[in-house]
Every structure is written in C-alpha cells, then in structure tokens.
C-alpha cells in the first residue's frame, strides 16, 4: 500500500473464504517474517480451536522452518501456489 510521499506499508491478512471476513491482519513498513508471524499468532489467538487450510505464495516467510513448525503445531494445513 502506498501512502504519503512515496512511502509503503505492507498488509498481511488472513481471510475466511467461507464468508469473506478478515480473521486477523497486521500492517508494517516491512514485508518480512515478523509481519507474517504476528498475523498468524493473532489469528490463532482469535480462533484457538480452528484447524484451517492456509494458502500463501512461496515467499521466504512462508517456507521458513519456523513457519512450518508453528503451523504444524497449530494443526494448520499449508497450501502454496505453484511456481510461476
């Protein structure tokens, strides 16, 4: 998201495909691992018993060992886009 005089903000959001509601979101000046993990932790906090399928691209945030470990422990099934 661009704002101000050439500044950027990154939005990380988890959306429920059933009804389109946003489960959790975070905004940051950096598109990094911390942004993704904060969003994921917020979603798990808001929905502790959910066992969703989480679809993402193949960014380094989503292919890291830590991300894999946390999603596995939370019972989340990971889904990723094909290589372009």
Flag whether 56 is in a domain. Answer: yes
| Domain CATH code at residue 57 | 3.30.420.10
Q: In terms of residue numbers, what domain contains 72?
A: 7-80
- Average pLDDT value for residue range 72-79: 90
Residue 82 has pLDDT above 80, yes or no: no
Convert the pLDDT of each residue in 3-62 to its tens digit.
999 999 999 999 988 888 999 999 999 999 999 999 999 999 998 888 788 888 888 888
Total tally of structural domains belonging to the chain: 1
Flag whether 35 is in a domain. Answer: yes
- pTM comes to 0.81
Residue 84: per-residue pLDDT: 61
Convert the pLDDT of each residue in 62-71 to its tens digit.
889 999 999 9
Q: What is the dihedral of CA 41, 46, 52, 57, to 10 degrees?
A: -40
Distances (CA, A) of 14 to 4, 29, 79: 26, 18, 13
Flag whether 14 is in a domain. Answer: yes
């Amino acid at each position: 998201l661009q704002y101000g005089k050439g500044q950027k903000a990154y939005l990380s959001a988890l959306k429920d495909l059933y009804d389109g509601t946003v489960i959790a979101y975070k905004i940051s000046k950096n598109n990094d691992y911390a942004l993704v993990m904060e969003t994921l932790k917020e979603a798990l906090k808001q929905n502790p018993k959910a066992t969703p399928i989480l679809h993402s691209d193949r960014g380094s945030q989503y292919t890291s060992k830590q991300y894999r470990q946390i999603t596995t422990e939370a019972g989340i099934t990971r889904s990723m886009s094909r290589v372009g």
